Structure 1
Amino acid sequence: MNPPRIISVDDHILEPGDLWAARLPDRFRDRAPRLVRRRGAFKEGPRGPWQETPDGEWADIWEYEGYRMPIIPGFAAAGKDLDQFGEHWDAMRYEDMRPGCHEQAARLVDMDANRMEASLSFPTFPRFCGQTFLERGERELSLACLRAYNDWMIDEWCGGAGRGRLIPLTLIPLWDPHLAADEVRRCAAKGSFAVCFSENPTKLGLPSIHTTHWDPFLAACAETGTVVNLHIGSSSTFPVTSTDAPRAVSLTLTYQGAAHAFADWLTSGVLERFPTLRVALSEGQVGWMPFLLERLDSIWNERPAYGDLTGRLTKPPSHYISGRVYGCVFDDVVGLRLRDRVGMEQIMFEVDYPHGDSTWPRTGEVFDKIVSEAGLDDRESYLLARGNAIACYGLERFGINS
């Protein structure tokens, strides 16, 4: 069997500098997010804030309503020596990164070189689920910014030559579940059937998934066949054990956000109330899932009242996995060896282009290696590379049928 072409369910886009200035209504244009060039540095190291200084390096900085976001090396690491970043962590300019980070034609070329057929990209300046527009700007301005992003994502980034290869992933106004439902339906009518949401909304000052607060939004997703995507870090938090721990500690523990979301969604009753709703845990890997499933089912079976599950679920938590909850891997051999405990049909593949964890441009080689080491047969290899992504996201709508 020829190696299957890969569908990556987690990549990223560096937005073009004129995205908002060119698309917002005139009354908002002077307050639009803008990409500006400043001199500065991370004075306290990579975990500290970027500060403008006259003797600093030139960098491209997103500015919006008093907020500044520098382009850090991890955002656009494709083609770079990652070890160099460990010693020299400066904000970047767009010309310092591969054009594929922000240009459609160049992205398609980089995909072709990497055995990739299709890609789903998360935002950068809005952050993984649009937190920037939740935290900054009056609501009317923020909603206009969010809709401008969604229109650009659907019509331009995923349009033209990108149609059927770049799969739309859109944002919602997190501050209002009814507006969120409206935006899900609006975007679905335009051709987007995947939406970003937070792995833990309480960390953003919002109600938890254990309430019914989000039901209007979730009902719209179920109605339109829109997949809810929970990217690690979409709670605006990453695990850190101590401020002096090496970056390796945080990189190793990033799965924890996905693990928390996994436990929340399987015990919340949401998947019972919305029996067709699908959820993808982006960049979380899956090796931890078998233990959590075993633990959750054990609590449900042996001590449901003590676990506060009485009345929440009618079936064990693991019942809600099949065809509903998907994990995503980029190099998780352990998780693939335990695939029967998770369900081979629930594991998708990601490239994470152009982030620091990305396997580009060696993704085909990495994929073949982990498939071999995990002992996947041809059918399982196909499901991992693309079959499960087609089923999860309904990619037949984009002409991807097999």
Structure 2
Amino acid sequence: MATQLAERDSLTELGIKLISADNHINEPRNLFVDRFPEHLKDKAPRVIEGADGGEGWSMDGKTPPKRTYGLEAMAGFDRKDYRISGLRYEQLRTGNYDGADHLKDMDLDGVYASVTYPGFTPAFYTNPDKEVALTGIQVYNDWILDEFQAADPKRLCGLTIAPCEVGIEESVAEMRRVARKGARAMYIPGSPSIPYNHPTHYEPMFAAADELNLTLCMHRNHGGPPDKTDWDFYQSDKVSIGGIVTRYFSCIRPFSYLIFTGVFDRYPNLKMVGAEVDCGWAPFWVQTLDHHWEIQSSWFDVKLKHPPSDFIGKNLFTTNVDDYAGYQMIGTGLWPWLSSFTMFSSDYPHSATIWPDSRKVAAKMIEGLKPEDARKALQDNAVRVFGFQL
């Protein structure tokens, strides 16, 4: 481990091994071209040059990408040099796609372990060719487990991807396949074509996740068909600051729907994560969940065995980057569940990343917190949600 981990700071004094529950990768440029079967080679996504001189992903290998590498690969750049696009693949830090080098960048950041979310691969959710979509997801899943996570499974948890938009039967089969290979968590779409409150559609997937102890993770509203009312349109690489801000609240709807379908009563061990949404908004949300369950439950057809707040920090979790407001709320002690609800992250290598200063930011965030609350938010929650070994 890097020298930074040995420095005397509040985390060291508390015996905390800092865990980032939301890092990212950018897939190796030849991942799909090299691994697609021969009859699908011409449909394999590949990195090609765009009109701006940068490089980015093309789903069909022919159409130049609308936006090349940029915001998703800013680690190592000065903030004044941040750009939405225009980078070439060789300008990305090798920690974007190499597990051993990712660990080195974690060491520079003073981070012991990390969960890695996918980069381009969720684009397969909207690919109309189901064979291509399933093949691409399976290729990614094999790579993230067999090569990236394999660099050190104790410190890396690579998210595999559930092919929900291909079909639930295919998702369950893939969940069982990757669980045998060592998967501990799976990515699911933030904007599914069928909402998660559907009474039956996702039931086999939730049952399999509960059985296999696979945590299900959404990242904001990414993945799945786009909301046409949104300012941003990720499928065509349209991004705005307003869209970035509003996505911090994107898990309120799916989390609320999931609670009131009774899924966590049926599957009490099921864990779900909303990544990069922070937690400062949560006290009012949880207050509202319980309030309306108390006053409205006489007419609602689903009867929960527990108050909605009982599922917070037990079944439902978020990750935060530098949510000082949320951690101040933890410090008040008014919402005891809040320190169990959220997990720290560095968001490496995206434009919102605090790398390589995660340790410094985390130390500042836990000022005034009880030691047990600091340990939950920075370490313990991630251990129980993602199965890390300390």
TM bucket, shorter chain: 0.7 to 0.9
| Distance apart, 1:181 and its partner CA | 0.7
Tell me how far apart the structure 1 counterparts of residues 228 and 275 of structure 2 sit (CA, whole Å). 14
Q: Which of residues 7, 14, 19 is equivalent to 2:31? A: 19
Residues 238 and 254 in structure 1, CA contact (< 8 A), matched pair in contact too = no
Residues 283, 89 of structure 1: alpha-carbon distance in 2 compared, 3 angstrom cutoff: closer
Residues 168 and 191 in structure 1, CA contact (< 8 A), matched pair in contact too = no
Alignment of 1:21-40 (within 5 A): 21-38=33-50, 40=51
Counterpart residue identity of residue 76, structure 1: A
Match of 1:76 in 2: 73
Aligned pair 1:365/2:360, yes or no?
A: yes
Residues 232 and 255 in structure 1, CA contact (< 8 A), matched pair in contact too = yes
Residues 207 and 213 in structure 1, CA contact (< 8 A), matched pair in contact too = no
Tell me how far apart the structure 2 counterparts of residues 115 and 317 of structure 1 sit (CA, whole Å). 36
| Distance apart, 1:120 and its partner CA | 1.1
Aligned pair 1:317/2:308, yes or no?
A: yes
Match of 2:283 in 1: 290
| Distance apart, 1:389 and its partner CA | 0.5
Residues 290 and 307 in structure 2, CA contact (< 8 A), matched pair in contact too = yes
Match of 1:164 in 2: 154
Alignment of 1:318-397 (within 5 A): 318-339=309-330, 340=333, 341=335, 342-372=337-367, 375-395=368-388
| Distance apart, 1:100 and its partner CA | 1.8
Match of 1:145 in 2: 136
> What 5-or-longer segments of structure 1 have no aligned partner?
41-56
Aligned pair 1:254/2:247, yes or no?
A: yes
Question: 1:37-85 CA distances to partner (integer Å, 9 max, x unpaired)?
Answer: 23x1xxxxxxxxxxxxxxxx31112112376363342100112123333
| Distance apart, 1:241 and its partner CA | 6.5
Residues 238 and 250 in structure 1, CA contact (< 8 A), matched pair in contact too = no
Question: 1:211-252 CA distances to partner (integer Å, 9 max, x unpaired)?
Answer: 210011111100000001011032545996699xx9443333
Match of 2:10 in 1: none
Aligned pair 1:233/2:245, yes or no?
A: no
Q: Which moved more, 1:262-271 or 1:363-372?
A: 262-271
| Distance apart, 1:313 and its partner CA | 2.1
What SS does structure 1 have at the residue aligned with 2:186? strand
Residues 136, 295 of structure 1: alpha-carbon distance in 2 compared, 3 angstrom cutoff: same
Tell me how far apart the structure 2 counterparts of residues 393 and 163 of structure 1 sit (CA, whole Å). 11
Aligned pair 1:125/2:120, yes or no?
A: yes
Residues 13 and 123 in structure 1, CA contact (< 8 A), matched pair in contact too = yes
Tell me how far apart the structure 2 counterparts of residues 389 and 237 of structure 1 sit (CA, whole Å). 30
| Distance apart, 1:377 and its partner CA | 2.5
Question: 1:114-142 CA distances to partner (integer Å, 9 max, x unpaired)?
Answer: 1111111111111xxx2x22322521222
What SS does structure 1 have at the residue aligned with 2:317? strand
Counterpart residue identity of residue 155, structure 1: D
Question: 1:5-38 CA distances to partner (integer Å, 9 max, x unpaired)?
Answer: 3111111101001111122222222321111223
Residues 14 and 123 in structure 1, CA contact (< 8 A), matched pair in contact too = yes
Tell me how far apart the structure 2 counterparts of residues 238 and 385 of structure 1 sit (CA, whole Å). 36
Tell me how far apart the structure 2 counterparts of residues 239 and 364 of structure 1 sit (CA, whole Å). 38
Q: Which moved more, 1:234-243 or 1:138-147?
A: 234-243
Tell me how far apart the structure 2 counterparts of residues 90 and 71 of structure 1 sit (CA, whole Å). 5
* TM superposition score normalised by structure 1: 0.84
Residues paired across the two proteins, number: 364
Aligned pair 1:215/2:215, yes or no?
A: no
Residues 311, 169 of structure 1: alpha-carbon distance in 2 compared, 3 angstrom cutoff: same
Tell me how far apart the structure 1 counterparts of residues 84 and 323 of structure 2 sit (CA, whole Å). 28
Tell me how far apart the structure 2 counterparts of residues 178 and 274 of structure 1 sit (CA, whole Å). 19
Alignment of 1:82-121 (within 5 A): 82-85=79-82, 89-121=84-116
> What 5-or-longer segments of structure 2 have no aligned partner?
1-12, 234-238
Match of 1:224 in 2: 212
Aligned pair 1:64/2:59, yes or no?
A: yes
Match of 2:266 in 1: 273
| Distance apart, 1:303 and its partner CA | 2.1
Tell me how far apart the structure 2 counterparts of residues 35 and 294 of structure 1 sit (CA, whole Å). 47
Residues 323 and 392 in structure 1, CA contact (< 8 A), matched pair in contact too = no
| Distance apart, 1:151 and its partner CA | 0.3
Tell me how far apart the structure 1 counterparts of residues 305 and 168 of structure 2 sit (CA, whole Å). 26
Tell me how far apart the structure 1 counterparts of residues 55 and 185 of structure 2 sit (CA, whole Å). 29
Tell me how far apart the structure 2 counterparts of residues 351 and 32 of structure 1 sit (CA, whole Å). 31
Match of 2:6 in 1: none
Counterpart residue identity of residue 96, structure 1: Q
Q: Which moved more, 1:216-225 or 1:136-145?
A: 136-145
Percentage identity across paired residues of the two chains: 28
Match of 1:47 in 2: none
